[in-house]
Amino acid sequence: MHCTQSPRPQQALPRHHPVLHADVTVIGAGPAGALLAYLLAAHGLQVVLVEKASLPRVKPCGGGLNWKTVTLLPFAIDAVVERVVSRVLFTQHLRQPFTRTASQPLVTLVTRSIFDHLLVQKAAAAGAHVYDACHITRLEAHPHGIAIQGTGLSWHSRYVAFADGAKGILRRQLGFAASAPHDMGLDMDVEADPACPWTPETLYLDWGTTAQTYAWAFPKADH
Q: Does residue 56 have a cis bond before it (omega within 30 degrees)?
A: yes
Is 187 among the residues that bind ligand FAD (CB under 6 A)?
yes
User: 79, 108 in Cβ contact below 8 A?
Assistant: no
Distance of CA 163 to the CA centre of its chain: 11
Binds ligand FAD by CB under 6 A, chosen from 24, 33, 113, 219:
33
Is 136 among the residues that bind ligand FAD (CB under 6 A)?
yes
Q: Which is nearer to ligand FAD, 52 or 122 (CB)?
A: 52
Number of shown-chain residues binding ligand FAD (CB under 6 A): 27
Q: Where are the beta strands (DSSP E) in 3-124?
A: 3-4, 21-27, 47-50, 64-66, 83-85, 87-92, 95-101, 107-109
Is 32 among the residues that bind ligand FAD (CB under 6 A)?
yes
Name the H helices within the chain.
31-42, 67-72, 112-125, 169-173
Is 62 among the residues that bind ligand FAD (CB under 6 A)?
yes
Binds ligand FAD by CB under 6 A, chosen from 56, 64, 127, 145:
64
Q: Which among 42, 37, 43, 39 is positioned nearest to 24, based on CA atoms?
A: 37
User: 99, 81 in Cβ contact below 8 A?
Assistant: no
Is 70 among the residues that bind ligand FAD (CB under 6 A)?
no
How many angstroms separate the CA atoms of 81 and 105, rounded?
Answer: 13
Would you mind telling me the total number of residues written for the chain in this entry? 223
Binds ligand FAD by CB under 6 A, chosen from 29, 106, 120, 128:
29
Window contacting ligand FAD (CB under 6 A); options: 21-29, 90-98, 173-181, 197-205: 21-29
Window contacting ligand FAD (CB under 6 A); options: 57-65, 73-81, 84-92, 199-207: 57-65
Residue ranges that bind ligand FAD, judged by CB under 6 A: 27-33, 50-53, 57, 59-65, 136, 163-165, 168-169, 185, 187
